[in-house]
Structure 1
Amino acid sequence: MTTGAGEEQAAALPAVAREIEEFIGAEGWDQPAQIFALVPTSELLAAEPDLAEQLDSEAALTPVAQESLPAEDLAEALARVSWPDQVTGCALFQEIVVLPPEAESALPDEDEAARTMAAEHPDRQEARLVAAVLRNGDETCVMRLRDGANEDELVQDTSLAPNLLQALRDTFNP
């Protein structure tokens, strides 16, 4: 059970994930995967007081963009990520292809073949996904589909990317 600052950060996690999705979304579609460090805003302001005008001092967490990650080797790239103690959590943005369950079950086991088949599937939908975790185990995912009718709708559900959430949690393991 989290307490104090941990509870505040856990409560702020979904809002931070939405903030990241909106930040990336402002650049449009077809953006590279990007990882963000999540740091306590109060600690960031204490270390960098010149940022006071740029940050929401009321926010429990501030996302700090890191370098883009290669989409084709995302698992390998995440396996090399580690964080200093000041980083309370992390989030990953990536664009994905969403398939209906029956199409997903028909994908081949080989990654490249599965990616090709998914990209060419007539029922595919493109989406932006943000998965975020805190060191204490709290997690969230948000997703926006790329289709004109529902593009304003943001889905929030941790079951959207359980493997990705685990990979992000693993970045905090030594």
Structure 2
Amino acid sequence: MSSVASVALMQSVVEIEQHVAADGWNQRPRMFALVPTADLLVTQPSMAAALGLTDESAESGGIPGLTSIEQDGLALDQPLDEMLAKMVWPAAVEGCALVIESQMLPPSAEEQIPQDPKGAELERWVTKHPERQDVRMAVAVLRDGTRQAAIRLRSKDSDMEVLSGPDLVPNLTAALLETFEE
């Protein structure tokens, strides 16, 4: 994992999270393909132009290393793990990012979890828990294993309060990396 890739991925995940945050809360999951901007300029010049990316801005260093392209048509009628297990990316896609909203509890709540809860039962229990936090997680990975995440708490809904780092959501990161395995 190069530091250049890590910086480019961090910039992408922060931009994606802010883009999604601009639409407010209570959103469906959103998936983004990440492509090298330099490749996009060569292979898709009309798309690059529509995004405001030009050879002149590339030469001046004014373009990001990665460009995110939102993917429409996600199969949201199935569990997230099943949807991700079916995803296949073309070679031109260097990485991907997923933004989902969820709820989390503090570690102290683990002892209170009902014994052997079923999926819907556990979900209802978490939703009613007084210490529940609503979160938006933007998780991004590259084919080479580089990873980054940005997490926004609904209770601290500010760009300045977004937590970021490579290891914040390890299970989701692993699931996204598997979308690149052949």
| Shift, 1:23, TM fit | 0.8
1:78-134: per-residue Cα shift (whole Å, max 9, x none)? 000110111101110000102111214543553322222111111111111001110
Give the match for residue 74 of structure 1: 80
Within the candidate set 19, 22, 42, 2:15 is matched to 19
2:149 corresponding residue in structure 1 = 141
2:132 aligns with 124
The question of whether the paired residues in 2 share the 8 Å contact of 1:10 and 1:134 is answered with no
Structure 1 residues 49 and 145 mapped into 2: Cα distance closer, same or farther (>3 Å)? same
Q: Match for 1:121: what amino acid?
A: H
How far did residue 47 of structure 1 move?
1.6
Q: Does 1:98 align with 2:94?
A: no
**Aligned with 2:171: secondary structure?**
helix
The Cα offsets for residues 116-161 of structure 1, whole Å up to 9 and x where unpaired, read as 21111111111110011100011011101001xx221100133321
Unaligned runs of 5+ in 1: none
Match of residue 31, structure 1, among 27, 39, 43: 27
Deviation for aligned residue 1:10: 2.4
- RMSD, aligned CA: 1.9
Unpaired stretches in structure 2, ≥5 consecutive residues: none
Report percent identity of matched pairs.
37
Aligned to 1:54: 51
**Counterpart Cα distance in 2 of 1:104 and 1:36:** 33
Q: Distance in 2 between matches of 1:166 and 1:109?
A: 25
Aligned to 1:45: 41
Aligned residues: 168
**Structure 2 residue aligned with 1:151, among 141, 157, 160?**
157
Deviation at 1:35, TM superposition (A): 1.1
The amino acid that maps onto 1:60 is G
Residues 92 and 144 of structure 1: is their aligned pair in 2 closer, same or farther, counting only changes over 3 Å? same
User: Structure 1 residues 106, 9: CA separation in 2 closer, same or farther (over 3 Å shift)?
Assistant: same
CA 1:122–1:85: 2 relative to 1, 3 Å? same
2-side partners of 1:130 and 1:40: how far apart?
Answer: 19
CA contact (8 A) 1:81 1:171 kept: yes
Instruction: Tell me: CA distance 1:173–1:98, structure 2 relative to 1, closer, same or farther (3 Å).
Output: same
